[in-house]
Structure formats: structure tokens, C-alpha cells
Amino acid sequence: MAPSELRQYDLVLLGATGYTGKLCAEHITKSLPTDLKWAVSGRSYEGLSAVVEEIKSYSPDRIQPAVEVVTLTLDESRSLAQKSRLILNTVGPYFRYSSPIVQACAENGTHYLDVTGELPWVYEMIQKYHDVAKANNAIIIPEIGLESAPSDLLAWSLATLIKKQFSLGTKEVVAAVHEMRSQPSGGTLATIVGILDHYSLSQLAKASAPWALSPVAGPRSSTQVPLATRLLGVRKQPQLGTLITSITAGPNIAIVQRTWGLLRGPESYGPNFQYHEYMRVKNSLAGAIIHFALALGLFALAIPPLRWLCQYAAHNVYAPGQGARKEVTAEESFELRAVAEADEDSSKPQMAMAKFRYDGGIYYLTGVFLAEAAMVLLKEEELTKKLGGGLLTPAMLGQPFIDRLKNAGVVLECRIMPEQ
């Protein structure tokens, strides 16, 4: 394989004709260095050429992307991976299309980023390709979009702050989606209703088991889960409010737990670390209703005829590759808040609080995550050398990633709370 620095491209954006792919291409064109050597890739030359023409208006004087037509067979994936230092992948559902490109990147020492939230597929990729990627110094980071970068970065920031300030580990981080104004894309809807057709219930259960993604065994929780939370899904947290089951919590928790393991958890976050994630609601009654509605919805998706009906309905909202118009997404926003408790023998342990917020299109933010993480991998040579390779997590990119996100409009704040 050619040395990374001698390859034709710095990065290739795979799936550039899709909804998220176009937004990522827009951010690359507007915000990344003008001398970046890059390409857009997908199945249709005509579609890719149209994307190139569209984004050219954002920065006419920069180097315009080349066009690479691929169908994501293993042979074509290997050819593409050998041309580029890094692949950004927005082609979903990932379980259906993207395994060959992960394999190709792992084998050829090509860095790789994607924005999946498909936990069973991520589990499968870790089992198959972590060791291969590590041997070839390929940094592969799935779930570096809304799932699960905000959660992972807040947990890392809080644990880092508590350790720096008090020389203590972190006992628990409780996170909650404080605000979420967004519309799903067609690709997201297709993935949600399609993943149960691909994986068996036993496979889903195995991937979703506590600490399943961590390379080392996780600690047992010493936190007593309140009865109301166990029965109704409702939890009260003084700083965060009334909380309820979050449909996106599973992949986020798994990634945070993997980060704990990759960072040799007892030495970094602490030996008793736990992470829980919810979403904020107005009151307990509303929370209980949402909890049971989600449970009923998941039960319905497990029944094939009802799942097919949902799939039909999803395609009639947005077809894959489509999403909300820009004037609609301009009003979107996302805010995740988190509270951390230091691991100390005290009735009033030290606490810290953090916030991640973005005002603007949520799928545009997904493109921001991909592009800015790419620049960390391309420019931070000491960090990439330290990381080596393997299937890693967003927080492994640390403060350089956070700094780039802040420069792109993300608000990420972290502070010690006053003693009570």
C-alpha cells in the first residue's frame, strides 16, 4: 500500500449525493483549507457532478473535488481506500452497504469516520476489524455524528475536569437531551425500520448488553436506580429536571462505555464510572406516557407486518437521500446537558456540569462533525501517532476536536458546580 502522505486525496466523501453527504460537502467547501485534496464519491457520476457544480458557488477559487464512482463492492472499496488518507462515509443504512469500506480502510491503513447509530453493526465491525485496523494504524471512528459525539465529548470533558480539579475519578454522569428541534431524514427513517430485518433479537441483545463495546469489563453500578425509573422510566435530577427514557440513549451509552475501556477506565474516568442518558420532559405524567409509547412502538417494530407498515410510512415522509428544506432546518437546535458526580466518600460529593448546544440544521451539524474530525486526523500528527489505530470513539480525538467544533459554532461548556 502507498504511504498515507503520498496518496492522491487527503479525504474522500462517500455518499455525497445523499442528504447528509451534500451538507458535509457544503461545510468542507465553506470551512476547510482551500488546498485540501478531496473527492466526492458515490454510484452516480451525474449526481456527483451536480453536487460539485452546486458547491462550487460557495467557494469558486478553492480546489474543487474530483469525482470517484464506486458501488461499494469489496474490490472497489479497496481501490478507493488506497487512494485516500481518510474516508468520510455517509452511506446508510450502514449495516446494508458499508461493511466493505470499513474492511478496506482497516486493511489499507486508511482513516475512516461515519455517522451511524446502528449499534449492532458497530459491535460487528469492532469484532471483525478492530485488530486489523490497529495493526495497520487505521483510525476508524463510527458514530461521530449526533450519535454519539455530543454524549461522548461531554462525558470526557466532565471526567477530565473532575480529575484535573480534584484528582478524583467520576462516579456517575447523567446526561439529558434538554432541547431537540429537528426533522428526520429519509435515510434515518429507513434505518430505524430496517435494522430489525437484518439482525436477530439475540444479536441485538448481545450488542446492547452493558459494556458490550468496552474492550475491558465494566464496573458494576453502585447507584441505586429509583423505583419510579425502573417502572415508569422517569427520573428526577435536580440540575436537569424530570427525565425520561431516550430512544437514542443505547448507542450513546455504548460509545461512552467504549471510551472508558479504551482509555483504561480505572486510570482515567475512574474504576466506578457509570453513564446514563435520558431526555427532559415537562412532568412525570408526560414522561410516563412517552415511556410506554416508546415501549409500544419498539414492540410494534418487532412484529414483521407492523414493521413493514412503518417502513412504507417512512418512505412517504422522506425517501432516503431527502430531508427538510434549508429554511426549515435554520430553526433547528440541539442541546444536551450533563451532570457528573465525583467518586468520593462524602454525603456531598463534588459535582460538575456541562452543556453541548448547536443552533442550526442538525444534519448540517452532522456534516460539521465529520469534516472537523477529519481535519484533526489530517493535521494533528502527534495525536494520530499516539492513537495508533483500531475502532475508536469520538472522545479519543479530545480537546483538538472540541476546539474545532467550537470554531464551527458549537457551544460546549464545562464547569465545577458550587458546593451545596
Residues 280-311 have pLDDT tens digits of 988 777 777 777 777 776 666 666 666 566 66
| Local confidence band at 244 (pLDDT 50, 70, 90 cut-offs) | confident
Short-list 261, 312, 40, 295, CA closest to 130: 261
Tell me the chain's radius of gyration from C-alpha atoms.
Answer: 21
pLDDT of 419: 77
pLDDT of 181: 86
Q: Does the structure show a pLDDT above 90 at 325? A: no
| Local confidence band at 189 (pLDDT 50, 70, 90 cut-offs) | low
Q: Does the predicted TM-score (pTM) go above 0.85?
A: yes
What's the half-sphere exposure (Cβ side, CA atoms, 13 Å) at 115? 31
Give the contacts of 154 (CB within 8 A, at least 6 positions apart).
Answer: 173, 175, 336, 338, 354, 355, 356, 412, 414
d(CA 365, CA 357): 11
Cβ neighbour number for residue 66 with a 10 Å cutoff:
16
Give the contacts of 313 (CB within 8 A, at least 6 positions apart).
Answer: none
pLDDT of 266: 86
| Local confidence band at 41 (pLDDT 50, 70, 90 cut-offs) | very high
User: How high is the mean pLDDT of the chain?
Assistant: 89
The stretch 128-151 carries a mean pLDDT of 97
Q: Does the structure show a pLDDT above 80 at 194? A: no
| Local confidence band at 277 (pLDDT 50, 70, 90 cut-offs) | very high
Q: Tell me the pLDDT tens digit for each residue of 348-395.
A: 999 999 999 999 999 999 999 999 999 999 999 999 999 999 999 999
Percent of the chain with pLDDT strictly greater than 90: 71
d(CA 392, CA 394): 7
| Local confidence band at 61 (pLDDT 50, 70, 90 cut-offs) | confident
The stretch 320-337 carries a mean pLDDT of 75
Phi/psi of residue 266, nearest 5 degrees: -60, -25
pLDDT of 390: 98
